Amino acid sequence: MGLSWMAWTGPTAAFFICIALAIAYMGVLEWKNPGGAPRRGILTLNTTRGDRLFISILGSAFIHLAWLGVMGTPLWGGVVLSVIYTWLVFKWV
């Protein structure tokens, strides 16, 4: 039976692998440079790398849900918007 109840597909597995790699990468960065160099961005909050990762993952989930609701499948447009959104978050937040 395994994980068959979860209906794993290639894109689903790729999504979770990317999330795991992002968290592992942040762990390595935190090990090399503890504290994450907090900075004050456009939100006028002090955010660390981990905060910005969380904001970008959460925002990307909402972007994909909105894309599904408005445009349907395929999700490549949502992926492109999420990458741009993540870049903007890490640059200015």
| Residue 35 pLDDT exceeds 60 | yes
Give the chain's domain count. Answer: 1
Q: Tell me which amino acid residue 8 is.
A: W
Q: Is the pTM of this model over 0.95?
A: no
| Residue 84 pLDDT grade (very low, low, confident, very high; cuts 50, 70, 90) | very high
Domain range for residue 50? 4-92
In angstroms, the CA 64 to CA 60 distance is 6
Strands 46-47 and 39-40: antiparallel
Residue 2 has pLDDT above 70, yes or no: no
Q: At what angle do helices 49-70 and 10-32 cross, to 10 degrees?
A: 160
